[in-house]
Amino acid sequence: MSKRVLVTGGSGFIGSALCLRLVAEGWTVFNLDALTYAAAPASLAALEGDDRYALIHADIRDGEAVKAAFEKARPDAVMHLAAESHVDRSITGAGIFVDTNVIGTFTLLEAARAWRDGLSGEAADAFRFLHVSTDEVFGSLGAEGLFSEDTAYDPSSPYSSSKAASDHLARAWGRTYGLNVLVSNCSNNYGPRQFPEKLIPLMILNALAGKDLPVYGDGSNVRDWLFVEDHARALQDIVERGRPGETYCIGGNAERNNLDVVHAICDIVDDRRPTGTARRELIRFVTDRPGHDARYAIDSSKLQRELGWTPSLDFETGLAGTIDWYLANEDWWRPIQEGVYRQERLGLPA
């Protein structure tokens, strides 16, 4: 099905993978993005000049600009990814997370409702709003069990609590105003074009440069890793065929603790760029993140059962491909390193 879609946050990590995928699928994509520090316009260079893609440089908190974006895009669907997304930054400065993730989502929902209200019956019924969220809203798991669509919310960080609030707003706009809202809660993503403050690209680039590899606490925290292009495919499946009013959990069936992830990165970087000294020797255990959730893991059987989605890559293959992408794309990450982000420690309370 060919669609016109308004993607928010399309210049970020997951949003850019999504825009690239949807244009390749023949959709017309309008990317509403404020181009914050986390945006990497270079990620979408392949779409420059493509008449199925346009950037709308605007802030989701700006109601007038968002209204104008709807008028320009005339979307059949909204896929809402714009957010402040880094837990460590939310610990040092929570205000922008509340502003963007909560107020911004509210502003977008109101604009979507007004847009839907102006559509004729059939188009209004077909209109979809996909709110893209995280498994971090569920808090922390013990050694056993998995998060599912029925898990109670219990967020730990300013980031995850702001996402939890936005999930509640999105569902409420469905129940109260009849907006065709879908919510997805996904586990940790990795892959090409991820901003180098996040664990996997930070470790790859530090390992390459022979810098310390800072591991929080004892490295035992477990995440369920999903390749970003598998996430983008799940989002397309949900917006096309998911049932309005429903939530879908998305995960990679790839639980790994942080220390194992860092070891795997060290070993692959040693293989690709040997120096004679094992990169594992660069590992340093540093003060843990306050409120650091012990374990996340996702049961995505609903998505598999209803929409036939499964992850396409195992973690080791995806990780090796990701490392090879960073090795081949220094012109993507070097300007970011030399500009806004210098790998400083973030996320200790001010």
Name the site residues for ligand NAD (rule: CB under 6 A): 8-9, 11-15, 33-36, 38-39, 59-61, 81-85, 100, 104, 132-134, 163, 186, 188-189, 195
The CA distances from residue 174 to 87, 99, 119, 205, in Å, are 28, 22, 17, 42
Nearest approach in angstroms of CB 39 to ligand NAD is: 3
The residue (of 200 and 282) whose beta carbon lies closer to ligand NAD is 200
Q: Dig out the tokens for 270 from the structure.
A: 């040693």
The residue (of 164 and 269) whose beta carbon lies closer to ligand NAD is 164
Catalytic residue among 76, 84, 135, 293: 135
Q: How far, in Å, CA of 339 to CA of 350, rounded?
A: 23
Find out whether 116 and 126 touch, Cβ atoms under 8 Å: no
Nearest approach in angstroms of CB 334 to ligand NAD is: 18
Find out whether 219 and 258 touch, Cβ atoms under 8 Å: yes
The residue (of 80 and 116) whose beta carbon lies closer to ligand NAD is 80
Instruction: Confirm whether 299 is a catalytic residue.
Output: no
Q: Report the 10 Å Cβ neighbour count for 110.
A: 16
The CA distances from residue 114 to 32, 132, 188, in Å, are 17, 20, 33
Nearest approach in angstroms of CB 70 to ligand NAD is: 14
Q: How far, in Å, CA of 78 to CA of 7, rounded?
A: 6
3-state secondary structure of 298: strand
* Phi, psi of 64, deg, nearest 5: -65, -45
The residue (of 256 and 279) whose beta carbon lies closer to ligand NAD is 256
Rounded to the nearest 10°, the torsion over CA 52, 313, 225, 260 is -140
Nearest approach in angstroms of CB 92 to ligand NAD is: 16
Instruction: Confirm whether 326 is a catalytic residue.
Output: no
Nearest approach in angstroms of CB 278 to ligand NAD is: 28
Residue nearest to ligand NAD (CB): 12
Instruction: Confirm whether 270 is a catalytic residue.
Output: no
Left if phi > 0, otherwise alpha if psi is -120 to 50, otherwise beta: which for 308? left
The residue (of 189 and 236) whose beta carbon lies closer to ligand NAD is 189
Catalytic residue among 159, 190, 296, 326: 159
How long a stretch of residues is the chain? 350
Q: How far, in Å, CA of 38 to CA of 126, rounded?
A: 32
The residue (of 34 and 146) whose beta carbon lies closer to ligand NAD is 34
Q: How far, in Å, CA of 250 to CA of 234, rounded?
A: 7
Can you say whether the dihedral through the CA atoms of 270, 313, 8, 44 is positive or negative? positive
Nearest approach in angstroms of CB 121 to ligand NAD is: 31
Nearest approach in angstroms of CB 43 to ligand NAD is: 9
Q: How far, in Å, CA of 137 to CA of 159, rounded?
A: 9
Catalytic residue among 76, 136, 167, 237: 136
The residue (of 59 and 76) whose beta carbon lies closer to ligand NAD is 59
Find out whether 146 and 299 touch, Cβ atoms under 8 Å: yes
Q: Which residues are catalytic?
A: 135-136, 159
